[in-house]
Chain A
Amino acid sequence: MAAVLVVAAVVGVLLGRFVTAGRDGPSVARAPAAAGLPAEARVAALQARLSARPDDPAALTELAVAYLGRVRETADPAYYAKAAKAVERSLALDPSSPATMTAAGLLALGRHDFPAALDWGLKAHAAVPDAADPLGVVVDAYVELGRYPEAVEAAQQMVDRRPSLASLARASYLRELHGDRPGAIAAMRQAITAGAGNGADVATVEVLLGDLLLGSGELGAARGAYQRSLERAPALGTAEVGLARVAAAEGDLAGAVTRLEPVVERLPQASSAALLGDVYAALGRTAEAATQYELVRAIEQLNRAGGVAVDLELARFEADQRSPDAVALAEAALAARPTVYAEDALGWALRQAGRASEALPRARAAVRLGTADALLWYHLAAVEADLGLAESARSHLRTAFDLNPTLTVRDLPPARALAHALGMSP
């Protein structure tokens, strides 16, 4: 009978302040402030706990979430299947647990199954309407389904329940999507302050802040954010990638390569491999660039095998590569995820395929929210230039450069060439 008992320690729950994030006793390693891999430690501890008592739905749910953390720590999508199994077993034991529904939603988000994620998030929200966490799943799902007004509403509800790192980071993204960049930066800074103390989460959000600042061309501030993130969590690959992007933006391509090569090897994520490819290409190292681009495709295949829907990410990449299958990928992506980014991917794929007139409505749809992302505006400008709409092209290209003077390694040279062709002063 002991095997079936689930931990709800009498005295433990008396001292519920400990019965919370990660604080379940000295048997679980606590990641110190500037530590390595918290999810790895949690997986080990939970597996030990489950070997003693296998039918523990709460532990299974925690294990699922820890596996999702492992995806991040290793860039290995095989952990999604492990997470799915743990969620399945947990639901079989306790089908009505809001925590497990939320975990199922997180898993669906990770796999880019946004309709399922929304479903789980709304279920969990209905079960515990005053809790903030399920709303995070709901916000993320609505955003990725292009249902922006509902996303804003859910984010407001989330932040009204608990102004925390999680809710403030989401408020930031919604502000960015709607063109309020100073507001996005302010909210991300608030998120960092709110999360003070948890190294791993704050490090993640500091990278998000760095990305925002980098996207605004504020290279020094971006560098500062990425560096602080690295100090907190040296194993976090995205901070290194951010610093590489800063180096590239400053024209230090060699420096960018030095930073990126070890990160791509350690944590092969598609976005970092694509960036490394772009930097090699800018350096004229064409063969090495091609290798990285093949690596991107291999990684996305692995992701697909791990149950992740990758059409949108792949469409955007293949459009940049002028691949013949970019348009089909983008159409499928738009159907599944009707977001401004999917419109942009399809518009860009069409334009790269020489189909500018079909691209135009897509490129316009991509900027319909006023999103503060220079690339969306550059893409629109390029389409308009192709169609001879010079006035609009100039205006939108100016918007792009105002938002971010350095764009990306890949896009800066053609964007500059476009500006020159349009007769714009440098």
Chain B
Amino acid sequence: MKSFRLLKPTALLGVGILLATIGPSLGSSHREAPLISEDPVADNTDTYAFVSPDNPNTVTLVANWIPLEEPAGGPNFHKFGDDVLYQIHVDNDGDAVPDISYEWRFTTQVQNSNTFLYNTGPITSLTDPDFNVRQTYSLAVVRNGQRTVLGSGIPTPPVNIGPRSTPNYDALAAAAVKTIGNVKTFAGQRDDPFFVDLGSVFDLAGLRPLNGAHVIPRSAANGVDGVGGYNTHTIAIQVPTSELILPGQPIIGVYAQTKRLQVRVLQPGLPGAPPRQQGNWINVSRLGMPLVNEVVIPLGQKDKFNNSEPVNDGQFASFVLDPEPARLIPILYPGVSVPPAPRNDIATIFLTGIPGLNQPPNVKASEMIRLNTSIAPTAAAGAGNRLGILAGDNAGFPNGRRLEDDVTDIELRALAGATPFTPSFNISPNNILGDGVDRNDRPFLTTFPYVPAPHQGYDHAHHRVGP
């Protein structure tokens, strides 16, 4: 009987349990600070890249932070980290090194220092004096090492609290969509656009529609969206394609990164010298394709992966070529067989892009979303075929990633070998694997920022049932 480690991307022990602090009045009791702590504002949950359907000369890049953000978040409502550098990188020549990087830095200001309340009355505009805890941001772009600030003091909308605090939420959010030159930008709370049956997939990889095929069978049922009813914090930017690509080469690699300033524990010189930051940024997380870190990179390597740069991803190649979850499928679903290692197909999909579709010339293998900007959108925003390439929709995942792409089902099937790369495995049930949750709980917007409005704290529900 095999036993499998539970893979966790950020913390070894993966449980946000606070640990004791013994009061110092007995002075000597040892100081215990929390060890295993969540870091949600630096926890990049999803990254998306797609040609904007309503504006096809532009590309939209979206990245989300703060997983499973509870809409009723008071009294300390969620926001971005003021001490964090948020980045979305674009590699336009396939050498695994960013060529263009967009950067966001946030600052929180409390308007009325006599209160820590988020709002002291209904928030009717972004400059309403009742909007007490405000977060603004600066947006910069780095090209060839040159950094240009595009704008600063850009507002974020308040979180969606309720009918008394944020009575006309859509107007507030719309006011936070800014156009700076030829770039559109938005940062703030949104509905988490991801959709998956969390409850079932964590119950020994249960897939409710396929409950009968599991090694512990149950009767078939509809999927339940475990992310339904939760929010997230979204950064979105829309950029003319011509600003991102090199002439004659339309394929870009995209990934997000999150960084914090390096800290020097002790200052040289006298005690009491004012603390200084080191000045370097430490990588805290990175995310391109919704798979590689979580599934492929083993537990002990996750901090290493998060700290690393794509140009060094060769060091993780062996894990990609023999991903552990692929080996689990035949055990949990008896009778289902998957292609044997080495899984060059997985490496192609996730590390280089697919030849003839989204593989740049002379590509250096590295984990990124690869988007062929010359492939036109096939549908209005949010209306593409959820199975993307697997259903013949070449504007879909893994060519870029749109909000509506069902990456859960697509990746399950890819792991099981149900792709044109491995035709003998492109059969039932490999090619019908799915969690039964096929769409987001809220419809996507047809215009920027495309991610739907956030659920309201006062009135929301979780875990929508059904496809």
Residues of chain B with a CB closer than 8 A to A97's CB: 5
Residues of chain B with a CB closer than 8 A to A202's CB: 76
Contact with A along B78-121 (1 / 0, CB 8 A): 11011100000000000000000000000000000000100000
Contact with A along B277-303 (1 / 0, CB 8 A): 000001010000011011100011111
Check: B312 CB closer than 8 A to any chain A CB.
Answer: no
Of A131, A144, A199, A245, which contacts B303 at CB under 8 A?
A131
Check: A292 CB closer than 8 A to any chain B CB.
Answer: no
CB pair B272 A182 closer than 8 Å: yes
Residues of chain B with a CB closer than 8 A to A401's CB: none
Binds B, one of A336-344, A353-361, A388-396, A416-424: A336-344
B159: min CB distance to chain A, Å: 12
**Chain B residues in contact with chain A, CB under 8 A?**
1-43, 45-46, 66-68, 70, 72-76, 78-79, 81-83, 116, 196, 198-199, 201-207, 215-216, 224, 226, 260-267, 271-275, 282, 284, 290-291, 293-295, 299-304, 306-307, 324-325, 328-329, 331-332, 408, 411-412, 415, 435, 462-463
Of A6, A66, A143, A275, which contacts B17 at CB under 8 A?
A66
CB pair B265 A232 closer than 8 Å: no
Residues of chain A with a CB closer than 8 A to B30's CB: 109, 112, 114, 140, 143-144
Check: A222 CB closer than 8 A to any chain B CB.
Answer: no
Q: Provide a sorted-by-A list of 20 A–B residue pairs whose CB atoms are within 8 angstroms.
A: A1-B215, A5-B332, A9-B201, A10-B328, A10-B332, A12-B202, A18-B68, A23-B67, A71-B20, A102-B13, A131-B303, A140-B31, A143-B30, A165-B37, A195-B34, A196-B76, A197-B40, A271-B26, A341-B27, A345-B28
Residues of chain A with a CB closer than 8 A to B324's CB: 8, 13
Residues of chain A with a CB closer than 8 A to B275's CB: 175, 180, 182-183, 186-187
Given A161-B303, A238-B23, are A231 and B76 also a contact pair (CB < 8 Å)? yes
CB pair A27 B199 closer than 8 Å: yes
CB pair A10 B28 closer than 8 Å: no
B336: min CB distance to chain A, Å: 10
17 more A-B residue pairs beyond the given contacts A33-B74, A34-B75, with a C-beta to C-beta distance below 8 A: A1-B1, A10-B332, A17-B290, A20-B14, A69-B18, A93-B3, A94-B5, A136-B33, A143-B31, A163-B262, A169-B34, A180-B266, A182-B275, A208-B33, A228-B116, A344-B27, A408-B25
- A340 nearest in chain B by CB position: B28
Check: A246 CB closer than 8 A to any chain B CB.
Answer: no
CB pair B28 A313 closer than 8 Å: yes
Residues of chain B with a CB closer than 8 A to A181's CB: 272
Of B262, B300, B463, which contacts A98 at CB under 8 A?
B300
B132: min CB distance to chain A, Å: 15
Check: A213 CB closer than 8 A to any chain B CB.
Answer: no
Contact with B along A299-328 (1 / 0, CB 8 A): 000000000000011011100000000000
Residues of chain A with a CB closer than 8 A to B28's CB: 312-313, 315-316, 333, 339, 341-342, 344-345
Check: A272 CB closer than 8 A to any chain B CB.
Answer: yes
CB pair A17 B45 closer than 8 Å: yes
Q: Total number of A-B contacts with CB less than 8 angstroms?
A: 427
**Chain A residues in contact with chain B, CB under 8 A?**
1-2, 4-27, 30, 32-34, 38-39, 42, 55-58, 61-62, 65-66, 68-69, 71-72, 93-94, 97-99, 102-103, 106, 109-110, 112, 114, 124, 127-128, 130-134, 136-137, 140, 143-144, 152, 155-156, 159-171, 173-175, 178-183, 186-187, 190-191, 193-205, 207-208, 211, 215, 228, 231-232, 238, 241-242, 245, 269-272, 274-275, 312-313, 315-317, 333, 339, 341-342, 344-345, 370, 372-373, 375, 408
CB pair A8 B7 closer than 8 Å: yes
- A227 nearest in chain B by CB position: B116
A289: min CB distance to chain B, Å: 14
- B16 nearest in chain A by CB position: A21
A225: min CB distance to chain B, Å: 11
CB pair B261 A163 closer than 8 Å: yes
Of B1, B14, B82, B435, which contacts A11 at CB under 8 A?
B435
Residues of chain B with a CB closer than 8 A to A18's CB: 67-68, 196, 198, 202, 226
B343: min CB distance to chain A, Å: 14
CB pair A196 B40 closer than 8 Å: yes
Chain B interface helix/strand/loop/mixed: loop
Residues of chain A with a CB closer than 8 A to B299's CB: 98-99, 128
CB pair A159 B295 closer than 8 Å: no
Residues of chain B with a CB closer than 8 A to A21's CB: 8, 10-11, 14-16, 36-38
Residues of chain A with a CB closer than 8 A to B408's CB: 11, 14-15
CB pair A196 B81 closer than 8 Å: yes
Of A2, A58, A238, which contacts B6 at CB under 8 A?
A58
Pairs A-B, 4 closest by C-beta atoms: A16-B294, A179-B271, A8-B4, A128-B300
Docked pose: A103 CA to B264 CA in angstroms: 27
Of B2, B33, B204, B463, which contacts A204 at CB under 8 A?
B33
B459: min CB distance to chain A, Å: 16
CB pair A190 B83 closer than 8 Å: yes
CB pair B265 A133 closer than 8 Å: no
Given A9-B201, A14-B291, A33-B70, are A152 and B265 also a contact pair (CB < 8 Å)? yes
B255: min CB distance to chain A, Å: 14
Residues of chain B with a CB closer than 8 A to A191's CB: 33
CB pair A180 B282 closer than 8 Å: no
A321: min CB distance to chain B, Å: 12
